[in-house]
């Protein structure tokens, strides 16, 4: 049985995962190469007008916007 509380919770989660990565190259085909914080390398559509390397948010394989260059801290709950 669906409840309003459950629908509100699902609304907080959003539909797509947002990744943080460091852009390592702008490619000639309109894509960018980037490395995530755990070392995975990927290619995404688009690039921003910034000097490489820079941090960027990626959603659904597309570069969304620049991310701040802050230290990353990972913790478990």
Domain spans in the chain, listed from the N-terminal domain onward: 16-66
Please list the pLDDT of the chain residue by residue as tens digits (77 residues): 566 787 777 777 766 788 999 999 999 999 999 999 889 999 999 989 988 999 999 988 899 999 988 877 788 98
| Closest among 39, 9, 5 to 22, alpha carbons compared | 39
CATH fold of 16-66: OB fold (Dihydrolipoamide Acetyltransferase, E2P) (2.40.50)
Which phi and psi angles does 35 have, rounded to 5°? -120, 130
Q: CA-to-CA distance for 35 and 41, rounded, in angstroms?
A: 4
Q: Rounded to whole angstroms, how far apart are CA atoms 30 and 46?
A: 6
pTM here is: 0.69
């Amino acid at each position: 049985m669906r409840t309003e509380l459950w629908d509100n919770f699902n609304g907080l989660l959003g539909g797509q995962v947002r990744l943080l990565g460091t852009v390592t190259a702008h490619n000639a085909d309109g894509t960018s190469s980037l490395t995530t914080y755990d070392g995975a390398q990927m290619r995404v559509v688009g690039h921003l007008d910034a000097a490489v390397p820079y941090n960027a948010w990626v959603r659904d394989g597309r570069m969304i916007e620049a991310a701040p260059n802050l230290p990353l801290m990972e913790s478990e709950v």
